[in-house]
Amino acid sequence: MTISGSISAQIKSEKEARIQRLLESKNFTFVAESANPTSGGNIRLTSSNYQLRFYKDSLESFLPYFGTAFRARYGASQSPLIFSSSDFTYESKTSRKGSLILTIKINNPGDPDVLILSVSPLGYGTLLVNSIDRQSITFYGFIEPNTRNFL
């Protein structure tokens, strides 16, 4: 192995350890870079403000929604994926390939029912949002430490 190869492997290992610590702290942000609605193609999100923030006792979502709503909230003028909640449960498990899979069940009426976040060891993430009232939507992005509030 060359020196540059061992340095590259060491940097990768350090990043994996940093991502693992971040996920274990339950204090991180998923930054969405693109959205893939059920009934459409991939949509590139041009703002880095589309995020889902995790805290030990709450979560905050500021994500766009593209898709069909089967039942809309009365008077709703913003995305149904803009919300905050402290009434949720979640479980985590590790896939065979080493990705961490978080399943979050939200108990607030009107908010999405289930969020499934899959995070690779290098910090890339896929977020699936399921709701009884709307078509599912998938977001692709990455994980970073919480830095500022947006809600």
For the stretch 95-129, pLDDT in tens is 888 889 999 999 877 667 899 999 999 999 999 99
- Say if residues 103 and 127 touch (Cβ distance below 8 Å): no
Asked if residues 137 and 67 have their Cβ atoms less than 8 Å apart, the reply is yes
Q: Find the mean pLDDT for residues 128-145.
A: 91
What pTM did the predictor assign? 0.84
Residue-wise pLDDT tens digits, 4-60? 567 677 777 888 888 888 888 889 999 999 999 988 789 999 877 899 999 989 999
At the topology level, CATH places domain 3-145 in Lipocalin (2.40.128)
> Considering only CA atoms, which of 78, 106, 84, 103 is closest in space to residue 93?
103
* Domain ranges across the chain: 3-145
